[in-house]
Amino acid sequence: SRNEVADDIVPITPANIDELVEPIKAAGRIIIVAYGLTENKILGMGLRFGGRSVYLAAGWEKLAGIFADEKIKKVGHDLKLLGRSLSEQGIDFRGIDFDTMIAAYCLNPGKNFSRLAEVALEYLNEPIGEPNAQRAGRDLLVIEKLQNKLVDQLRAQNLDNYFSQVEIPLSTVLLEMERYGILIDRPYLQQLVNSFQDKITQLEKDIYQIAGTEFNLNSPKQLSFILFEKLQLPPQRKTKTGYSTDEEVLRKLAMVHELPARLLEYRHLQKLVSTYGVSLLNLVDSRTGRIHTTFNQAITATGRLSSSDPNLQNIPIRSEYGRQIRRAFIAPDEKLLLSADYSQIDLRVLAHLSGDEKLLKAFLNNEDIHNATARELFGEITPQQRRLAKTINFGIIYGMSPHGLAQELNIDQKSARDYIENYFSRYCGVKKYLDNCLGLARQQGYVTTILGRRRYLPEINSANGQLRQAAERIALNTPIQGTAADIIKIAMIDIARGLAGSDSHLLVQVHDELVLEVPRKEIEKVAEMVREKMTAAIKLKVPLVVDLKYGQNWAEMEKWQ
DNA sequence: CAGGCACGC
DNA sequence: GCGTGCCTG
């Protein structure tokens, strides 16, 4: 049957491409495969429409009108990537209708379906060979068959709406965000890198002097020798390969020796320079001065997005030096950055899913949730008790064990267990809900989010205690984290629609935060629209609260009302 | 390529 | 709990 498929595809010379336009329009639907997308180029492209397949080795710009036409439905595998590539060549891409990567991800987000071959193997039990001249013809038919199969399975899991109304529209929103990019203040960032680099050089000198020898500061192995053998400092913790030299360890050692203190600062600055300084500067588009990340829509097991090249979801914020990096993300003069983040969305989701009376009441009264928890658990709200309550709240969301909580709070496991027991006796709705999650997970082999997306947990009944407990934490965390992800996805689609045709743009999503670029004149209108779309994305038993900020850069922002 | 480490939510 | 990325060896 391979030959039959291979014969099915017709190579088209650039001169004849124009003749495809009318038939494609008549078909109204086109399956696309593209090869060699890596270097902002395309090596070849297969198209299938109206029951026939063609292969183009060049000349697809003549089909720009087809690609840009929203009414012509596009079917393929990772179409956002194709859209990015076409965009580099000045060709707009609209009308994403079905994506086998995203469909397969919706059905099983725990698996890697980044390549068509992996989806074909899973759902058609059909291996895909090495690329060759006939590859496109076969891939087009594979996608056609896969679509039918995946549509059936989505329907069977009642995910067809979620797929077509959330994930598919989202892929276009993400494509636009990637294409638009976020502006970088390059001279500022370069200057900042230089000044950090000077500090690093000085710290290196100091550390070598204190150690009495030069060594590679970036090597935990060499550092471990200096700290624990040469200087005879007390090791705190072991790793697989030796003694740990992580931040927690160095903090302890810093109390008895000055080298670890310097090293902490060195590591911090080195991290900022290498991850957020140099590499960020290298990724700025020289034409636009902007950074164009890639949002991965089909990577995480919980349904969150991820971001890479560069990762804009882990830009520093906590330390002062870190905030200086963040300051390099700017709006052009006539515009502002608008940041909108969900307040405590995870705990609000937990309140909704569990129906716990105390948690619901705290949010309905718009209380500070960590204060409310502190009052409930300890009867008082000292800063210390609030911190404790906050850590416990985080622990609940992460399905944290007594062991994990003990480590986080630096207390013994017995005390940690007491805290957790106390929490569950006060918030018994939460306790019941989490127990029920575990029961369902064990019985069904999966857990679900509010929109019905599943995450399978093959290890949930494992005889291996470590694996089983890890699966149990996942079972507790995924419905919460995954539901929060569902909610912000809906909000993004609604906001993008609200912005259509305007000069305001979504730029970045950071799990519970959206960053937009907005003309100064529109800031009030857009801020209110964003708040409205985010709070109304989904109706929960508690209100969704959104905090808005605006400013010329991503670090220095003022509250919006 | 795995491990250690560190940045974010 | 969920990611990405730098560096070393």
Is A315 a residue whose pLDDT tops 90? yes
Higher-confidence position of A404 and A182: A182
Question: How many of the other CB atoms lie within 10 Å of CB of A293?
Answer: 22
- The Å distance, CA of A381 to C1' of C1, is 27
Measure the CA–CA gap between A545 and A56, rounded to whole angstroms: 50
Mean pLDDT, rounded, of chain A: 94
Question: Residue A275 CB closer than 7 angstroms to strand C?
Answer: yes
pLDDT tens across A249-276, in order? 999 999 999 999 999 999 999 999 999 9
Measure the CA–CA gap between A20 and A66, rounded to whole angstroms: 10
Measure the CA–CA gap between A439 and A436, rounded to whole angstroms: 5
Extended beta strands in A2-141, E state:
9-12, 29-35, 44-49, 52-56, 73-76, 96-99
Dihedral sign from CA coordinates of A425, A428, A434, A438: positive
Tokens 């797929």 identify what position?
Answer: A163
DSSP for A33-48 reads EEE--TTS--SEEEEE
Structure confidence at residue A1 as a pLDDT band (50, 70, 90): very low
Question: Residue A283 CB closer than 7 angstroms to strand C?
Answer: no
Measure the CA–CA gap between A286 and A29, rounded to whole angstroms: 36
* pLDDT of A135: 85
- The Å distance, CA of A237 to C1' of B3, is 16
* pLDDT of A472: 94
Question: Residue A307 CB closer than 7 angstroms to strand C?
Answer: yes
Name all protein residues with C-beta less than 7 A from any atom of nucleic acid chain B.
A 220, 239-241, 244-247, 249-250, 264, 267-268, 271-272, 275, 313-319, 322, 510-513
C1: residue with closest CA to C1': A398
Cβ(A353)–Cβ(A483) below 8 Å: yes
Structure confidence at residue A186 as a pLDDT band (50, 70, 90): very high
Cis geometry, peptide bond prior to residue A127 (ω within 30 degrees of 0):
no
- The Å distance, CA of A28 to C1' of B8, is 43
B6: residue with closest CA to C1': A271
pLDDT tens across A373-402, in order? 999 999 999 999 999 999 999 999 988 888
**A360-390 burial: b if 16+ Cβ within 10 Å, else e:** bebbeeeeebbebbbbbbbeebeeebbebbe
pLDDT tens across A4-40, in order? 444 478 888 888 999 999 999 999 999 999 998 876 7
Instruction: For residue A237, give the nucleotide whose C1' atom is nearest its CA.
Output: B4
- The Å distance, CA of A279 to C1' of C6, is 10
pLDDT tens across A278-288, in order? 999 999 999 99
Residue A313: burial class (beta carbons within 10 Å; 0-12, 13-18, 19+): middle
> Which residue type, as a one-letter code, is found at position A95?
G
Question: Residue A299 CB closer than 7 angstroms to strand C?
Answer: yes
- The Å distance, CA of A444 to C1' of B3, is 35
- The Å distance, CA of A406 to C1' of B9, is 22
Q: In angstroms, what CA-CA distances link A206 with A152, A193, A199, A217, A263?
A: 65, 20, 11, 12, 10
Measure the CA–CA gap between A244 and A220, rounded to whole angstroms: 8
B4: residue with closest CA to C1': A220
- The Å distance, CA of A259 to C1' of C7, is 20
pLDDT tens across A513-560, in order? 999 999 999 999 999 999 999 999 999 999 999 999 999 999 999 999
Higher-confidence position of A7 and A319: A319
Structure confidence at residue A3 as a pLDDT band (50, 70, 90): very low
pLDDT tens across A452-498, in order? 999 999 999 999 988 999 999 999 999 999 999 999 999 999 999 99
Is A444 a residue whose pLDDT tops 70? yes
Q: Which of residues 468-487 of A touch strand C (CB under 7 A)?
A: 470, 473-474, 477-478, 481
Instruction: For residue A220, give the nucleotide whose C1' atom is nearest its CA.
Output: B4
* pLDDT of A4: 44
**Cβ partners under 8 Å of residue A131, min gap 6:** A35
Cβ(A276)–Cβ(A316) below 8 Å: yes
Structure tokens at A463: 């005889």
pLDDT tens across A115-148, in order? 999 999 999 988 776 655 588 999 999 999 999 9
- The Å distance, CA of A48 to C1' of B9, is 41
Cα angle: A59, vertex A65, A68; to 5 degrees: 110
* pLDDT of A132: 57
Looking at the DSSP assignment, which residues form a beta bridge with residue A54? A10, A47
Q: Which helix (H) or strand (E) holds A296?
A: strand A294-296
Question: How many of the other CB atoms lie within 10 Å of CB of A481?
Answer: 24
